[in-house]
Structure 1
Amino acid sequence: MFDASVATDDAYLPGIRNKLILVSLIVGLLEGMPLGSVTASIYKGIGGQLNSLILILAFGAMLGKLLADSGAAQRIATTFINMFGKKNVQWAMIVTSIIVGITMFFEAGFIVLIPIIYTIVAETGLPLMYVGLPAVIGLSTTHSFLPPHPGPAAVSTIFGASMGHTLLLGLLIAIPAAVIVGIFYSRTNFVLSAKASIPAGLVTTKVFKEEEMPGFGVSIFSALIPILLMAISTLGDLTLSKKDPILVYLHFFGDAPIALLLSVLVSMVTLGTNRGKKLEEVVASMGVSVKSIAMIILVIAAGGAFKQVIVDAGVGKAITAMTAGLNISPIVLAWIIAATLRIAVGSATVAIKCRVKRMPIFILC
């Protein structure tokens, strides 16, 4: 579920994992924590960070793989492009990337959309950045703001927030952000002046023929099942009494891991066996998808270890003392710290929590 570029995150992930564990040890020791306490803090952070998040990551990867391998993601993209037309192809790419990006990891969505972007550029003659940037921005914003992507999902877990509420609030931020950057910024002379061309022989991802793809209805339904379940659960919280017995069922089916599990089970049929694939083939493909996120899980676990050491070592108190005399809004300060670390690290797969005074700051880095 990652921004920047595929190559960027793939290159950074092993290094980030090792550095976070090493830095966790160093910070704990420099802060005077006993050796046993440092390792105990690391183990506690890893367990607390993964928790139910590991199921979200695994089921999300499976669903994304099913969408990609069946041609459903390409069907969603081509349908919206035909619907919007050449003049509004950027809007088509934004809508497509947001829908695809809700349930697919950034890398998976990027790989699925790249051949479609190249095809559109080749057929229309439009600049590559003009067509491609809106798609990348759409994927990036869904990754950064919406569960079940690892960053926002981990933040929701850390703060005990509702996944459904986080999703709905995230949409209110992600959609305008995607439009502002993906549509208006991509039309500026600065972006259009960038020289970009389609690399020869780079794309090996399969481009499905019309008859090979599932219908648009079943494709978009399969992609949005977890979102619908979480949204219904959230609407139930807003409209029903807390004592209403229906809420028990809504909360169960709207819980992110359960919603994703159900979507995977349904998609195995709608995008798998109903499309003529053998069940063994579908299961094998899903197994490959889980292997692909092993490094991501380790990085997030390492981030949890670092977070817990920071909390247990009292780094939050040190930051409080450093910033106590600053005449600046704590919200602005939180944003500056988060943005600085996010830029410095270069990956958006780890959620780190620290505290300045009594206000929690989550740092997506």
Structure 2
Amino acid sequence: MTRLSVELLAADAPEPITSAGHAQLGIAVLVGIAVIVVLITVFKLHAFLSLTIGSLVLGAVAGAPLDKVITSFTTGLGSTVASVGVLIALGAILGKLLADSGGADQIVDTILAKASGRAMPWAMVLIASVIGLPLFFEVGIVLLIPVVLIVAKRGNYSLMRIGIPALAGLSVMHGLIPPHPGPLVAIDAVHANLGVTLALGILVAIPTVIIAGPLFSKVAARWVDVPVPDRMLPPRASEELKGRPSFGATLGTVLLPVVLMLSKALVDIVVDDPDNRTQRVFDVVGSPLIALLAAVIVAIFTLGQPAGFTKERITETVDKGLMPIAGILLIVAAGGGFKQTLIDSGVGQMILDISKDWSIPALLLAWLIAVGIRLATGSATVATVSAAGLVAPLAADMSTAHTALLVLAIGAGSLFFSHVNDAGFWLVKEYFGLSVGQTLKTWSVMETIISVVAGGLVLLLSLII
């Protein structure tokens, strides 16, 4: 996305569905979030219904016409299902094929054999960081969850001790490291150097992921001690299998989407010509949908055939893989609907308007603006794009290194305190079988640690280089 396209995106943004002032919008946000939390925690209402009601309440308090609120909510719900929902479904199928064929057992047995108890969280954060480098956060989640759950169950580890490092690795890559969409948009908006940003991003990411992953997981495990949710735990493969796929074949199948997406990112950087035939081919095969679909198709042969699966057994496996995720899809989709209602109500623009007159250092300003938009809209991408567009003029007099640090400051701020308006919050909650309070004490605190540590390291580097 070029700088021009970012500017056009802002210029073509639809008018807010309400003319409410900043104070009324702020009250509407607080009331909407409070309604969702109370309905779920006090009245034990299903999260899908709570998010739907909370979106309507938000719109009503903001003074928006109800028909426009409904349109915003359904638009956000539909776009979330079209993107994240399809990926969750394909990931669930791949996970079920891994479990039923014995492939997941093969990976877990190898990890348990190679890593001791104390090394396991470090092994998980390393695996998640490598897999998460080219993947969208949601894709990484659906690929890693079966492995995380089985390792925790078979190795008798705390779920948080294993899960938090994996989530930290994925989240840090998503927010700070190109070729993820957010950092790439910010790089283009402020005219930063991709190589310098990547190098400094890795420098910031390593200590950040260590603190938010293996180290914080010790605290998170004490705060929230929950068993592995049986409904999401892939069962052990049947003992009647013809055989078990090799570790190499299984790992290759899991990494196939990673390779395809990373190839697309590299071709985009090297070729950088949307009309080039090679780039167009990789844009297709490296898209998350095609990459995961390809992995599922390949898994039928690399995992299903060694296990002796018939056509009927493969169909049965796909059906069973999809059944447990119906509730998750609806909750995540409703989270997307709530986020879209916030955006269309003008909450993001409100944050931008308020922050225009702040007189503070550019890097801190960029971080704070991204934090505000993230808290208000729940979207890391919206926070990144909006903050980059606002602070882009400040990069004109910056050095190459400081311009790269500006990108990282925006990325760090965009990860701050994920809560009920973020679809990722509900994704983690449902996959790990947590309550809202437990998700806030683990996932949300982890995201905040990532944001604060990364932001602090960026400011520190700005004093050194």
Task: Return the TM-score normalized by structure 1.
Answer: 0.69
Q: Residue 101 of structure 2 is aligned with which of 35, 50, 70?
A: 70
What does residue 334 of structure 1 align with? 370
5+ residue gaps, structure 1: 1-10, 119-127, 148-154, 343-349
What does residue 307 of structure 2 align with? 275
What does residue 231 of structure 1 align with? 262
- How far 1:251 moved relative to its partner? 1.0
Aligned partners of 2:253 and 2:161: how far apart in 1? 23
| SS of residue paired to 1:249 | helix
Q: Residue 54 of structure 1 is aligned with which of 65, 85, 91?
A: 85
- How far 1:80 moved relative to its partner? 3.5
What does residue 140 of structure 1 align with? 167
5+ residue gaps, structure 2: 1-39, 133-139, 175-179, 187-193, 391-409, 426-465
Structure 2 counterparts to residues 1-365 of structure 1, below 5 A: 15-84=46-115, 88-95=119-126, 102=140, 104=142, 108-118=146-156, 128=157, 134-141=161-168, 144=171, 172=202, 177-184=208-215, 205-206=235-236, 213-242=244-273, 243-320=275-352, 329-335=365-371, 338=374, 363=418, 364=422, 365=425
Aligned partners of 2:58 and 2:217: how far apart in 1? 42
Asked if 1 retains the 8 angstrom alpha-carbon contact of 2:260 and 2:291, the reply is yes
For residues 74-94 of structure 1, the C-alpha deviation after alignment (integer angstroms, 9 at most, x for no partner) is 322332443456774554444
Task: Return the TM-score normalized by structure 2.
Answer: 0.56
For residues 80-118 of structure 1, the C-alpha deviation after alignment (integer angstroms, 9 at most, x for no partner) is 443456774554444456678936366534432223312
Amino acid at match of 1:112: I
In 2 relative to 1, CA 204–319 (structure 1 residues): closer, same or farther, beyond 3 Å? closer
| SS of residue paired to 2:155 | helix
- How far 1:307 moved relative to its partner? 2.3
What does residue 394 of structure 2 align with? none
What does residue 456 of structure 2 align with? none
In 2 relative to 1, CA 40–192 (structure 1 residues): closer, same or farther, beyond 3 Å? closer
- How far 1:256 moved relative to its partner? 0.6
C-alpha RMSD of the superposition:
4.6
Asked if 2 retains the 8 angstrom alpha-carbon contact of 1:214 and 1:275, the reply is yes
Asked if 2 retains the 8 angstrom alpha-carbon contact of 1:62 and 1:286, the reply is yes
In 2 relative to 1, CA 109–255 (structure 1 residues): closer, same or farther, beyond 3 Å? same
User: 1 or 2 for the larger relative contact order (CA 8 Å, sep ≥6)?
Assistant: 1
| SS of residue paired to 1:75 | helix
- How far 1:316 moved relative to its partner? 3.2
Deviates more, 1:174-183 or 1:32-41: 174-183
- How far 1:141 moved relative to its partner? 2.6
| SS of residue paired to 2:64 | coil
Asked if 2 retains the 8 angstrom alpha-carbon contact of 1:135 and 1:182, the reply is no
Asked if 1 retains the 8 angstrom alpha-carbon contact of 2:168 and 2:213, the reply is no
Aligned partners of 1:356 and 1:197: how far apart in 2? 37
